[in-house]
Chains A and B, each alone.
Chain A
C-alpha cells in the first residue's frame, strides 16, 4: 500500500522560500560587488578578518589582528552604521615575507570595517585585546 505523502507545513514552505531568497541574495551580492584583494598597497593596509554580532543589549565586533602593537588599536564609528578598526603591525610586512615575489608593496597596518544595522552608542565602547583577538562591545541605543 502506498504511503500517503504528508503535505509540508506552512512554516516548512516559508523556510524553504527564505533559504532560496537568501541563496539568491548571496549570489547577487557576489556578482554585483566582486571582491577586491585583501590588501591595499596605497594605504599600506592588510585587511583583517572580523565579525559583528548583535545581541539584545550589545553590538559586539571582533577582529583577528595578528602581529600588531596593541596600544595602536583604533576603533572608530565612521558613521552611525559603520565601525572601522585599524592597528599598526609590530613590523612591516612585504609581499616577499608572504612568499609573493611578483608583486611589490609593504604593509604597516591591519584594517577592517564592520557594518551594523542597529543603533549603538559609540561613546560607551569597551575594548579588550587578547592574543591578537580584538573585542569591542557597544551598548545598543534604545
Chain B
C-alpha cells in the first residue's frame, strides 16, 4: 500500500519567508490563529498536501473543493493549516514533509502556534503566551523580546515534531503557545498568541475582529474540536500536564 505524503504547489512559493504552522491541537489555538491571519492578510492558497494517510475528504468552500491541509502565502509569510484533525499515524510523515518542504523553500524560520492546556483556564482573563526555540540564539531573541519562556515541560503533537525535525535539520524554529482550554475552542488564546506573533515579528495583525467573533467561532468549531480531542487522546496529549525529570 502506498503511503505517500506530498506537497503539491499551485503557485510560486516565496523563499526566505516565515512559515507558520497552525494545525488542530489544544483549544484549536493554532488553527484559529492561523486561519484568522490568512484571512486578515489576504494570503493566497499556494499549495496543498496530498496523502494516502489522510481520510478521503475534501472541504467545500464557496462550492469548490479544497484539500483539508493547505498552505497559504504572500511574499514574506507561509501559513499551514488543516481543517481536519490530523490522524495520529499521519502526524510523523506529515510534519517531516512540512519541515523538509520548508527547508527546500529556504524558509527563514518555522513558527508553530498552539496552546498549553491549563486546568484553571476559566479563571484566567488574559491567557499568557510562552515560547520555546530550536536553538539558544533564537531563545535569546525571544527572551529579549519580553516573551516568557517555557523552560521545562513536555510538548506533544505537531509542534513537538516541528521542533524535533527542525533541530535535526539545523533550521530555526519557534513555538508560541498560549494558555488555553484543553478541548474547548479558545479564540481568546488564539488572539493572545497572534498579538505576540505580531509584536515579535513586526507583522501588523488586528485581533479585534477575532475577539468579536469569539462566540461564533466556538459554535462553529465544536465538530473539529471533538475530532481533534479524539486524536489528542490517542497521542497521549495529556502528557503535557506532566513534570519532566532531568536531574
**CB within 8 Å of B: which residues of A?**
23, 26, 38, 46-49, 51, 62, 64, 66-67, 93, 97-99, 130-133, 135
- Given contacts A49-B184, A67-B215, are A135 and B122 in contact (CB under 8 A)? yes
The one of B184, B215, B218, B223 that contacts A38, using a Cβ cutoff of 8 Å:
B223
Chain A's nearest CB lies how many Å from the CB of B149?
28
In the complex, the answer to whether A38 meets B122 with C-beta atoms within 8 Å is: no
Q: Specify which chain B residues have a CB less than 8 angstroms from the CB of A47 in the assembled complex.
A: 222
Q: List 22 A-B contacts (CB under 8 A).
A: A23-B234, A26-B233, A38-B223, A46-B222, A49-B183, A49-B222, A51-B183, A64-B181, A64-B184, A64-B222, A66-B214, A66-B215, A66-B216, A66-B219, A67-B215, A67-B216, A67-B219, A97-B216, A98-B219, A99-B220, A132-B218, A133-B184
Does B226 make an interface contact (CB < 8 A)? yes
Does A132 contact B225, Cβ atoms closer than 8 Å?
Answer: no
- Cβ of B102 within 8 Å of any chain A Cβ, yes or no, is no
Q: Check if A49 sits within 8 Å of B219, measured CB to CB.
A: no
B207-247 contacts to A (CB < 8 Å): 214-216, 218-220, 222-223, 225-226, 233-234
Q: Is there contact, CB below 8 Å, between A131 and B122?
A: yes
For the complex, give the distance between the alpha carbons of A135 and B119 in Å: 12
> Closest CB of chain A to B58's CB: distance in Å?
15
Q: How far is the CB of B221 from chain A (nearest CB, A)?
A: 9
Contacts of A38 in B (CB 8 A): 222-223, 226
Complex-state Cα separation, A93 to B123, whole angstroms = 28
A46 contacts B184, C-beta separation under 8 Å: no
CB <8 Å contact, A48 and B222: yes
**A residues less than 8 Å from B218 (CB atoms):** 64, 66-67, 132
Number of A-B contacts (CB under 8 A): 45
Distance between Cα atoms of A57 and B225 in the complex (Å): 29
In the bound complex, what is the Cα–Cα distance between A98 and B222 (angstroms)? 12
Across-interface contacts of A132 in B (CB, < 8 A): 215, 218
- Chain B residue with Cβ nearest A129: B122
Q: Which residue of A lies closest to B182 (CB)?
A: A51
Kindly state whether residue B185 has any CB partner on chain A within 8 Å: yes
Q: When A and B form their complex, which 4 residue pairs have the shortest distance between CB atoms, in order from nearest? A: A66-B218, A66-B215, A64-B184, A133-B122
Q: Given contacts A64-B185, A64-B218, A133-B122, could you give 11 more A-B pairs where the C-beta distance is less than 8 Å? A: A26-B233, A38-B223, A46-B222, A49-B226, A64-B181, A66-B215, A66-B216, A98-B220, A130-B123, A132-B215, A135-B122
- Contacts of A130 on B, CB cut-off 8 Å? 122-123
B214: chain A residues at CB < 8 Å are 66
Which residues of B, 148-173, contact A by the 8 Å Cβ criterion?
none
In the assembled complex, the CB of A8 is this many whole angstroms from the nearest CB of chain B, namely 19
| Proximity string of chain B (121-152) to chain A, C-beta cutoff 8 Å, 1 when within and 0 when not | 01100000000000000000000000000000
Give A86 Cβ to nearest chain B Cβ, in Å.
15
Which residues of B lie under 8 Å from residue A64 when comparing CB positions? 181, 184-185, 218, 222
Are A46 and B219 in contact (CB-based, < 8 A)?
A: yes
Return chain B residues, CB-CB under 8 Å to A135.
122
In the assembled complex, the CB of A21 is this many whole angstroms from the nearest CB of chain B, namely 14
